Amino acid sequence: MIPFAQYLRGLASDGDLVTIDESADVPPDVVAAEALRASGPALRYRRADGVDLASGMFSGPDQMQRRESKSWSRLALGFGLSPDASFVAVLDTIAGLGPSGGDADPTYAGQTASRTVDSVQDLNLPQGTEDVWPSLTLGVASVSSSEGSHWAPIHGSVVSDDKLRVRTPTALSSLLDDDGTLSIALGVPPAAVATAYLLAVTGCVDVPVQACGVADDVPLVPTNGGLVPSATEIVVETTVADRHPDFQSDRREAWEHGVASTPLSLSVERVIATDDPVIPFSPVGRPLADDLQLTGLATAAMLYRRVNDYWGISPIEWVLLPAEAELGICFVATNILYAGFEWQLANLLFTFSSLFDTVIIVDEGVSPRDFGRVLGDIWVKAHPSRDWIFSEPSAPAAKRPRYRRDGTTGARLYVNAAWDPRWEDSYIAPRVSFERSFPVSVRDAARKTWNDRHDAAAGDGD
Amino acid sequence: MSADSFRKYLRLLEDEDALVSFAESVSWDLEASAVTTLANRTDGEIPIFESVEETTIDAALVGDPYRGPQCRPWEHLARAFELPPGLSGAAYYEAVIDRLRSPREPRIVDRNAAPCKDVVHTGTDVDLLSIPWPYIHRGDGGRYSNLHTVVGPDPKTRWGHWSSHRMMIHDDDLASLLFLAGEQAPNLYYYEYEPREEPMPVAVVLGTEPAVQCSTEMWIPNGRSEAVFAGGLKDGPVDLVPCETNDLYVPATAELVLEGRVLPNERLDEGPFGDYFGYMNGPRRSMPVFAVDAITRRGEPRVPFCVEGTGVGYGQNSSSTLQTAAAGPDATLGLQAAGFDVALAVPWRFTSQTVWVIATDRPYPGYLHELANFIFTTWGMLHIDFFVFVDADVDPLDPRTVLTAIALEADPDADFHQFGVERMPKVPLNIYQTPDEKGSADVGTSKTKTAKAYIDATSDRPAGVSGGDEELRRRAQELLVDAGVSSEAFDLLEWGGDRSR
């Protein structure tokens, strides 16, 4: 388990975090969005007033160019994996944080946050360009039930010294008991925030964290609302002031595209913080925002596990809902087991997620690190008519895209950019690549010739 | 002044530390191509191989000389045309389009003043195999020249027609040319010269100045000359010189010129070859025969080649860069000239000749259909299968924003058009048809037809809704650069990777 503060230090030591002084005239969400747009490092905002902030902690560089670092590399580090960990290792780690079938063995530890903060407004949470109030994002809500503690994502606004307006999954708010206590953990270990997102997108908010894999990994501590990670930078203990508040906000974190959410008005009872707290925030609604990446990874982890569990075998190499496509397209690499398997697979994915209604299928040998190849193969390997398959126009519109918001039905689409298993081997066109287009002796000679003039190794994968 | 010869262009690359010279002996048989593949994959310098094994003349090979940096493919060519450094993609397109709006007539120079005539071999002195043609990929049908300008006759212009067709070497004076009907020069051969049983004069020109190579990649309307647009692009006349054995004119500063004839009713094997799709394509086919009558060249010619197939996905090579940096601005200008409200037309970076992205307004219902059909029936016929239309304020040079537009705006139910209709021609280089479907049609195209499609990824929101406060974004970028973040990826800074206009 990597506490958030340690995660920050890890990114800094890897050269993937830059500290900046907060500017009075440029809101942090604009700075965060520009860093993400440029595929820049994570940022820590040094502030004279209020808590320090961090952005880009759960996001990463886009995959539209060849880069050493991937969009999941930071989060891999936050999970205690190598930053070079494979995408599938990250998916497996996330999936393992969820419901464990009762095998989890929670550990408990003392609360790292022990300093009481007078007012939630003293935190001076970031206020975006379009925000009326300071906002909190990337929070983990915890509530208790007779089953245990339940986690889910939460975000909202600080409207006074002791009032918050938040949104959280309906599944969580429905678990609130009569006294309606809810704790918000800000600056939790990456595994904890990933768990909250995973539970939300899999519809498992009702599963207590004591029965989830995360409990094996993240030490917990009780609060008024429920268990939270002991290594939490800031805990805001609240009670529900209004379960049906009369306010509307356009702000939505990305998990809300596929998960029903409800507003709550909360009274702040207590705020406790570490001595030098740093909390993450996401420039919600901007490209590549942290909440978008987390939602994409959690959904991909869910789909990867469910699909590979479905037929008793594991034909799927990886599933990807890239933030670059705003979660509106699902990419999957698979072994096409038999003719027609691609149809089954695409429709199974549509069954398991309502976010998208376009699925792109590529061959099992395509690496998720080579998204550029995926973005080429779609158009080159798939026949423009035979391999772009539309359903009958009777499907409900997916929740993420912007079209057909009026509830009318329409078609779904899958693109089969994998080789047809019925083709003879001689029909399969060999790919042009360094590894395939040159014999070993030529590759060795070329590497020597090239590397003799260059310090950097040229042998990175295709 | 623009780089008005291939040598000056190479010196410009050297001055920019973008060229690496290998003095040690390298084989033309896959090795030069393998080293170039590494250079392309690692975004490294352009390799020049000064010493090529088993070559009877003192010639060098240059691997993918027009390849630009992966993040800014137009960079080297912008320098070659003396455009301001650090131009954003959109600014580069605008600058090139401005140049193309002012074509310049070429200038005829005396053969004694033409570097491409330093050495002249005709008749029995012609030895095609004296040139170090590279064997590019394992599995290719033979050694190839694939980065050149084919100069052919054009009854409507004095300067001839320039185009690009890969060429497979057969012996000391014969080669086969990939001539696909539907393109201008092959059409002339298949439907004019060959029926008359008349050889068609052509010249294959290698190592041209950048403006010539760029205009070769453009789709210049019939009756207009690529040579005058090359002059516009370089902002000065292109020097041309008459051929030795026919009436064509060729660029005088070229490194190497092969003069000859495409013979009627003669065919030689051509392919397979790893072409721009990123896959080896076959089967071996019969293609028209190019009989070489003369070779003229510089004393120590620099012979460029392209490792085709490495310009897909994340990679760049000469052909993908030329598509982005030359064909894109030309297409944008062409569509604007045809009356369409197109902001930018840009090849999809990950497979540049199969998909194009067009940012456009939609002034009336049915406009996109008209636009798509215009393109598919003119310059987009054989190679391009898909067009993706996005809003005019979406940057087609930013593939992330395009992918987002496809994901969020393109409704499978209403925005994918012309699928399921297999009525259109297709180059046999594709890999989604079986060899049987491709067949061996007499005029080059696949025997089996294909479908073309366009995707409407435009939104219904009014223009200008997205984008945010540009001044605020600029200040944020400055803040990040001050904190030590590299400026290269920022689009609004004066000396960032992109420069704002």
Interface contact B70-A65, CB threshold 8 A: yes
Chain A residues whose CB is inside 8 A of the B22 CB are 449, 453
Regions of chain A short of the pLDDT cut 50? 457-462
Res B465: pLDDT: 46
Cα A246 to Cα A353: distance, rounded to the nearest angstrom:
30
Closest residue on chain B to A461 (Cα): B41
Strand partners, B453: B386
Of A31, A432, A434, the CB nearest to B38: A434
Residue with tokens 């037309």: B345
Closest residue on chain A to B42 (Cα): A458
Strand order in the sheet with A52-55: A17-21, A42-46, A52-55, A278-280
Interface contact A434-B35, CB threshold 8 A: no
Are residues A319 and A238 part of one domain? Answer: no
Report the CATH number at residue A306: 3.40.1670.10
Q: Is the ipTM of this complex over 0.90?
A: yes
Alpha-helix runs per DSSP H in A210-352: 214-217, 290-310, 341-352
Chain B residues whose CB is inside 8 A of the A447 CB are 38
Cα B363 to Cα A133: distance, rounded to the nearest angstrom:
40
Report the CATH number at residue B419: 3.40.1670.10
Interface contact B411-A329, CB threshold 8 A: no
CB atoms inside a 10 Å sphere around CB B171: 11
Task: Please give the structure tokens belonging to residue B275.
Answer: 């072409």
Torsion angles phi and psi, residue A128, rounded to 5: -75, 170
Interface contact B348-A427, CB threshold 8 A: no
Interface contact B280-A430, CB threshold 8 A: yes
The pTM (predicted TM-score) of the whole model is 0.95
Closest residue on chain B to A447 (Cα): B35
Report the CATH number at residue A161: 2.30.110.10
Are residues A182 and A307 part of one domain? Answer: no
Are residues B108 and B44 part of one domain? Answer: yes
Q: Is B305 within 8 Å of B134 (Cβ atoms)? A: yes
Q: Does residue A310 lie within any of the structural domains?
A: yes
Our measurement of the distance from residue A44's CA atom to the centroid of its chain's CA atoms, rounded to an integer in Å, reads: 20
Interface contact B411-A372, CB threshold 8 A: no
Alpha-helix runs per DSSP H in A61-103: 73-78, 87-97
Q: Does residue A441 lie within any of the structural domains?
A: no
Are residues A300 and A274 part of one domain? Answer: no
* Mutate which: B452, B480, B488, vs A, most A CBs within 10 A: B480
Closest residue on chain A to B456 (Cα): A403
Q: How far is CA B270 from CA B279, B298, B391, in A?
A: 16, 28, 42
* Mutate which: A379, A405, A406, A413, vs B, most B CBs within 10 A: A379
Q: Does residue B355 lie within any of the structural domains?
A: yes
Q: What is the pLDDT along chain B (501 residues), one digit of tens a residue?
A: 789 999 999 999 999 999 999 999 999 999 999 999 999 999 999 999 999 999 989 999 999 999 999 999 999 999 999 999 889 999 999 999 999 999 999 999 999 999 999 999 999 999 999 999 999 999 999 999 999 999 999 999 999 999 999 999 999 999 999 999 888 999 999 999 999 999 999 999 999 999 999 999 999 888 899 999 999 999 999 999 999 999 999 999 999 999 999 999 999 999 999 999 999 987 788 999 999 999 999 999 999 999 999 999 999 999 999 999 999 999 999 999 999 999 999 999 999 889 999 999 999 999 999 999 898 888 767 788 999 999 999 999 999 999 999 999 999 999 999 866 788 787 888 888 888 888 766 677 777 888 889 999 999 766 544 556 889 999 999 999 999 998 888 888 865 444 333
Are residues A252 and A392 part of one domain? Answer: no
Q: Does residue A433 lie within any of the structural domains?
A: no
Q: A30-87: per-residue pLDDT in tens?
A: 999 999 999 999 999 999 888 999 999 999 999 999 998 999 999 999 999 999 999 9
Cα A402 to Cα A424: distance, rounded to the nearest angstrom:
41
Q: Which one of B456, B476, B493 terminates a domain?
A: B456
Tell me, what amino acid is at B71?
A: C
Torsion angles phi and psi, residue B109, rounded to 5: -115, 155
Enclosing H/E stretch for B32: helix B31-41
Chain B residues whose CB is inside 8 A of the A438 CB are 30, 33-34, 37, 137-138
Cα A147 to Cα A169: distance, rounded to the nearest angstrom:
18
Residue with tokens 């598919």: B376
Alpha-helix runs per DSSP H in A79-160: 87-97
Are residues B403 and B479 part of one domain? Answer: no
Of A25, A397, A438, the CB nearest to B30: A438
Chain A residues whose CB is inside 8 A of the B435 CB are 426-427
Are residues A372 and A309 part of one domain? Answer: yes
Are residues B137 and B117 part of one domain? Answer: yes
Task: Please give the structure tokens belonging to residue A453.
Answer: 């003039």
Q: Which one of A280, A304, A325 terminates a domain?
A: A280
Of B307, B313, B386, the CB nearest to A373: B313
Q: Does residue B314 lie within any of the structural domains?
A: no
* Mutate which: A437, A444, A452, vs B, most B CBs within 10 A: A437
Tell me, what amino acid is at A55?
A: S
Q: How far is CA B387 from CA A145, A372, B327, B355, B381, in A?
A: 54, 18, 15, 6, 12
CA torsion through residues B105, B109, B114, B117, sign:
positive
Min CA distance, B468 vs chain A (Å)? 9
Are residues A269 and A296 part of one domain? Answer: no
How buried is residue B450: exposed, middle or buried, by Cβ count under 10 Å (0-12/13-18/19+)? buried
Give the count of domains, chain B. 3
Q: Does residue B323 lie within any of the structural domains?
A: no
Query: For residue B342, what are the domain limits?
Result: 338-456
Cα A334 to Cα A24: distance, rounded to the nearest angstrom:
50
Cα B241 to Cα B243: distance, rounded to the nearest angstrom:
7
Q: Is B220 within 8 Å of B229 (Cβ atoms)? A: yes
CB atoms inside a 10 Å sphere around CB B306: 32
Question: How many CB pairs lie under 8 A apart between chains A and B?
Answer: 274
- DSSP-assigned states of every residue in B135-175: B-STT-SS-EE-SEEEEE--TT-TT-EEE---EEE-SSSEE
Closest residue on chain B to A62 (Cα): B400
Interface contact A39-B489, CB threshold 8 A: yes
Q: Is B206 within 8 Å of B256 (Cβ atoms)? A: yes
Of B44, B47, B313, the CB nearest to A370: B313
Of A41, A427, A442, the CB nearest to B434: A427
Query: For residue A126, what are the domain limits?
Result: 4-280
CA torsion through residues B415, B421, B423, B424, sign:
positive
Our measurement of the distance from residue B328's CA atom to the centroid of its chain's CA atoms, rounded to an integer in Å, reads: 10
